[in-house]
Amino acid sequence: KLINFSIDLPGGELPVMLNKQLYGWTIENMFKNAIDAMKGRGDLSIVITRDTSYAKVLISDTGKGIPKSKFHSIFEPGFTTKKRGWGLGLSLAKRIIEEYHDGRVSVLKSEIDKGTTMQISLKLI
Ligand SMILES: Nc1ncnc2c1ncn2[C@@H]1O[C@H](COP(=O)(O)OP(=O)(O)OP(=O)(O)O)[C@@H](O)[C@H]1O
Ligand SMILES: [Mg+2]
């Protein structure tokens, strides 16, 4: 009840090669990160759009944000800022998206104490 969730999907179809299980796992992990960053309270949104070659999945939260200097290191295995974190979620997400989906995952934007938007790009077929 403390998370205000919104979802914005495109009208038409976006054909991508998707491993449902791995993609589902990736989204779940990124949602968990978002909720952790918001300490369980805030706005969480998922927006799906496209450009010419990619479907774009944008996951935004109103959490603590990520410093610019860490935009890349958060994807390294073992990088965590959490007491009980393994630092594995994003490194596996990156592998799943890059190696199984011919895609990309990145921090689209983030501002300290304002929030973060993570972007998954999936190659359209
Ligand atoms: N949405 C986010 N907002 C702020 N920081 C984030 C966000 N997503 C990831 N991070 C930062 O990136 C780090 C790495 O994330 P990652 O999911 O790889 O590991 P983790 O969540 O710490 O542990 P786990 O292995 O349980 O997922 C986090 O510890 C956190 O500092
Ligand atoms: Mg995580």
Q: Where are the domains of the chain?
A: 3-123
Residue written as token pair 């369980």: 40
How many A from CA of 77 to the centre of ligand 2? 11
Cα 125 from Cα 107, distance rounded (Å) = 24
Cα 104 from Cα 40, distance rounded (Å) = 27
Residue 76, amino acid: E
- Looking at all shown ligands, the one closest to residue 93's CA atom is 1
**Chain mean pLDDT for the chain:** 96
Check pocket membership of 89 for ligand 1, CB cut-off 6 A: yes
Q: Whose CA is nearest to atom 8 of ligand 1?
A: 33
Residue 75, amino acid: F
Check pocket membership of 78 for ligand 1, CB cut-off 6 A: no
Q: Whose CA is nearest to atom 29 of ligand 1?
A: 80
Domain 3-123 is classified in which CATH homologous superfamily?
Answer: Histidine kinase-like ATPase, C-terminal domain (3.30.565.10)
pLDDT of the residue at 1: 87
Residue stretches of the chain with pLDDT short of 50: none
